[in-house]
Amino acid sequence: ERNQRRVHRRSIVTTRAVRKGEVFSSENLGIKLPGTGIAPREFDSIVHRRAARDVPAEVLLRPEDIEFA
């Protein structure tokens, strides 16, 4: 049952490649299945932050991809 929940939840993903230092926005982020990454409820806290490294298109966003400083 726990695995089923993860599969049916959603996560924040990149909708296009994001370069290191580029600002995350609704233009380069989206929400898709599966729910094994950062939860959509964190979307607003990620928008306007910078990418800590190059992030390819269509991948689950991970905490280490985001500059929090």
pLDDT tens across 10-48, in order? 999 999 999 999 999 999 999 999 889 999 999 999 999
**Token output for 67:** 């500059």
- pLDDT of 2 reads 64
pTM of the full structure: 0.86
- pLDDT of 3 reads 63
In order of 4, 7, 30, 33, 45, the CA distances from 18 in angstroms are 30, 25, 13, 20, 17
